[in-house]
A and B are shown apart, each in its own frame.
Chain A
Amino acid sequence: MVRAENVHKSFGHLEVLKGIDLEVRHGEVCCVIGPSGSGKSTFLRCINHLEKINAGRIWVDGDLIGYRERGGKLHEMQAKEVAAQRRSIGMVFQRFNLFPHMTVLENVMEAPLRVRRESKAQVRERAIELLDRVGLANKVDTYPGQCSGGQQQRVAIARALAMRPKLMLFDEPTSALDPELVGEVLDVMKNLAADGMTMVVVTHEIGFAREVGDSLIFMDGGVVVEAGAPRDVIANPQHERTQAFLAKVL
């Protein structure tokens, strides 16, 4: 579903990603852990082309992201085509990024209405169904500012799901939440994984990674230091840096 080959990314002189390889199969949950500044968010943003990569290739569901290969040459995609590619990739942010001037329901309806041009009644019905799925059927007419952090993040998940994505990217979805609200968001994500959604999850929730993840990668300094089955990596880290990191977060 997702394949990354030797992905490099620099901001000016600062090289943030130094050759990342990744393979996530259909229906798999891949968890990404690593210390702050190791490039986890940057890599996630590269997958839906919010950041342009400097070298390497990323494919999602067989399509090269951000470029088209024609006659052995890479052509940059038009903004419209990039937007079209992003429609099948949902993204959930650390700080929710809900649209504060729209109600919860309007937040979920916005993209399908504007982008897919479906009928309003249909979109509305599906939006309510999705909000019900994340346990917020009673919040449809409130504004995001009136919701708790956990509720906002669940709305953000519903908003991403409204585009019927094939892949969901989560960037530390619970690290801006009060501890007692983390569980409700993780539960929604567990259900999503159980339904067979392909997910790449940057997280500090080691428990979640162990329970739900099919694979785990540990990133540090812009490279993948260690990868494998979550249980093995967590219980028996091979690399010294992984050991040091896990000792701190466990």
Chain B
Amino acid sequence: MSTDVTDVRARPEPIKAVPVRHPGRWVSIAVLAVLIAMFVHVLLTNSAFHWRFLKESMFRPPVVDGLLRGTLLMTLCAMVVGVALGAVIAVMRLSDNPILRSVAWAYTWFFRSVPRLVLLTICGNLGILWSRVEFGVPFDTQLGKLFGISALHLRIGGFTSRDVFTGFFAGLLGLALSEAAYMAEIVRAGIQSVDPGQGEAAEALGLTRGQTLRRIILPQAMRVIVPPTGNETMAMLKDTSLLIAVPVTYELFFQLDAIGHKKFDPFPMYVAACLWYLVLSSLLLVGQYFIERHFSRGYGQQARARMRLRGLAAEQGGGGEGIAT
């Protein structure tokens, strides 16, 4: 028996099945609701929070100053220096030159091993090591002695340590050097994630090593580099609270803590610090979203979906492309 293939078949009835039940979901919702209710209850009824005091203190000038200079500006500067230095170290680490490679390795080894708190304390006390820092020919006095000139000084300038290695600069030094070590590892992983064929294609076109790195490799590595760098920025934002070890006093947490102790009411100030850090981190998340979107040009779901659509259109409409003539 043969059937007519062009025969229009009746459309079957839509499926009406009893859906699978999820009793576990309802239980977990109930448990969560109770926990949240308890938490809100504490926030509203416990008098130790002193919400009004908290709100007033959060926007006091020294706190806001600490937030802008000690937390935000320091995060920005430390990350900029850290990323730049980290990229250089990553490139050194991947170079053919064995000396550069081992220097880069030693750098990351040292700065990833020492805790930031310790590092910041050391940076704040560099004045003990050198009371005055000067730039010029290294080992000039020793060289002078060798050639019989006493007290030879070949120096072009300098500064007194106490003026510089305290406060902002010392803090920046400690945080940026430490950050560079972590960024170096991130950038290295990013560069290594790029298909080696990309570098070959660029070199086969006659691009120099530097051009290949800047124009071809790094932009593609950014897709891998950006997300962990977002993490690093967030960690840096929080680690600025360690600046007290330098010491840097115009810093968000130090200022809130100081108010809390002066008024014999520290707890609301800790909550205020949490709130500020939550706000700042949320802003960072938004920034990260846009940066990630920028560096995923040419990749991603959207591009693939568009391609599928085009392919379909080409199949049906015959496309519009001929072969070379």
- Establish whether residues B321 and A145, one from each chain, have CB atoms under 8 Å apart when the complex forms: no
CA distance A151 to B320 in the complex (A): 13
State the interface size on chain A (CB cutoff 8 A): 47
List the A side residues contacting B216 at CB < 8 Å: 99
In the complex, what residue of chain A is closest to B311 when comparing beta carbons?
A148
The majority secondary structure among interface residues of chain B is: helix
List the A side residues contacting B298 at CB < 8 Å: 100-103, 143-145
Bits for A87-110, please: 1 = Cβ < 8 Å to B, else 0: 101110101011111110000001
A77 within 8 A of B: no
Given A111-B205, A163-B205: A188 in contact with B197 (beta carbons within 8 A): no
Q: Which of A30-38, A132-140, A212-220 contacts B (4 or more CB under 8 A)?
A: A132-140
B216 to chain A, nearest CB (A): 6
A55 within 8 A of B: no
B140 within 8 A of A: no
B208 to chain A, nearest CB (A): 5
Of the residues B202, B204, B209, B321, contact of A79 by C-beta under 8 Å = B209
Given A100-B298, A138-B321, A191-B324: A115 in contact with B206 (beta carbons within 8 A): yes
- Establish whether residues B207 and A114, one from each chain, have CB atoms under 8 Å apart when the complex forms: yes
B307 within 8 A of A: yes
Interface residues of B in 154-209 (CB under 8 A from A): 195, 197-198, 200-209
A137 to chain B, nearest CB (A): 8
B191 to chain A, nearest CB (A): 14
Interface residues of A in 51-65 (CB under 8 A from B): none
In the complex, what residue of chain A is closest to B208 when comparing beta carbons?
A83
List the B side residues contacting A147 at CB < 8 Å: 307
List the B side residues contacting A97 at CB < 8 Å: 195, 197-198, 200-201
Bits for B38-80, please: 1 = Cβ < 8 Å to A, else 0: 0000000000000000000000000000000000000000000
- Establish whether residues B307 and A86, one from each chain, have CB atoms under 8 Å apart when the complex forms: no
- Establish whether residues B206 and A146, one from each chain, have CB atoms under 8 Å apart when the complex forms: no
List the B side residues contacting A79 at CB < 8 Å: 208-209
Given A97-B195, A97-B197, A134-B324: A83 in contact with B306 (beta carbons within 8 A): no
- Establish whether residues B205 and A146, one from each chain, have CB atoms under 8 Å apart when the complex forms: no
B81 to chain A, nearest CB (A): 26
List the B side residues contacting A90 at CB < 8 Å: 204
- Establish whether residues A50 and B200, one from each chain, have CB atoms under 8 Å apart when the complex forms: yes
- Establish whether residues B203 and A159, one from each chain, have CB atoms under 8 Å apart when the complex forms: no
- Establish whether residues B206 and A100, one from each chain, have CB atoms under 8 Å apart when the complex forms: no
B132 within 8 A of A: no
- Establish whether residues A111 and B323, one from each chain, have CB atoms under 8 Å apart when the complex forms: no
Q: Which of B198, B204, B310, B322 has the most CB of A within 10 A?
A: B204
- Establish whether residues A146 and B208, one from each chain, have CB atoms under 8 Å apart when the complex forms: no
CA distance A145 to B220 in the complex (A): 14
A226 within 8 A of B: no
Interface residues of A in 35-86 (CB under 8 A from B): 48, 50, 79-80, 83-84, 86
A14 to chain B, nearest CB (A): 19
In the complex, what residue of chain B is closest to A158 when comparing beta carbons?
B324
- Establish whether residues A84 and B200, one from each chain, have CB atoms under 8 Å apart when the complex forms: no
A47 to chain B, nearest CB (A): 10
- Establish whether residues A160 and B323, one from each chain, have CB atoms under 8 Å apart when the complex forms: no
CA distance A93 to B202 in the complex (A): 12
List the A side residues contacting B325 at CB < 8 Å: 133, 191
List the A side residues contacting B206 at CB < 8 Å: 83-84, 86-87, 111, 115, 163
Interface residues of A in 161-199 (CB under 8 A from B): 163, 183-184, 187-188, 191
CA distance A146 to B201 in the complex (A): 20
- Establish whether residues B197 and A115, one from each chain, have CB atoms under 8 Å apart when the complex forms: no
List the A side residues contacting B211 at CB < 8 Å: 114-115
- Establish whether residues B303 and A50, one from each chain, have CB atoms under 8 Å apart when the complex forms: no
A230 to chain B, nearest CB (A): 22
CA distance A91 to B320 in the complex (A): 28
Interface residues of B in 121-146 (CB under 8 A from A): none
CA distance A89 to B34 in the complex (A): 72
- Establish whether residues A101 and B322, one from each chain, have CB atoms under 8 Å apart when the complex forms: no
B48 to chain A, nearest CB (A): 54
List the B side residues contacting A187 at CB < 8 Å: 323-324
List the B side residues contacting A91 at CB < 8 Å: 201, 204
In the A-B complex, the 6 residue pairs with the smallest Cβ-Cβ separation, listed nearest first, are A87-B206, A97-B201, A143-B298, A111-B205, A146-B307, A91-B204
Which A residues are closer than 8 A to B by beta carbons?
A: 48, 50, 79-80, 83-84, 86-87, 89-91, 93, 95, 97-103, 110-111, 114-115, 133-136, 138-139, 143-148, 151, 154, 156, 159-160, 163, 183-184, 187-188, 191
Which B residues are closer than 8 A to A by beta carbons?
A: 195, 197-198, 200-209, 211, 215-216, 219-220, 295, 297-299, 303-304, 306-307, 310-311, 320-325
Q: Given A143-B297, A143-B298, 20 more contacts at CB 8 Å? A: A50-B203, A50-B204, A79-B209, A86-B203, A86-B204, A87-B205, A89-B204, A91-B201, A93-B200, A100-B298, A100-B299, A102-B298, A111-B206, A115-B207, A133-B324, A135-B322, A135-B323, A145-B303, A163-B205, A187-B323
Some 5 contacts from A to B, beta carbons below 8 A apart, are A79-B208, A100-B299, A103-B298, A114-B207, A187-B323
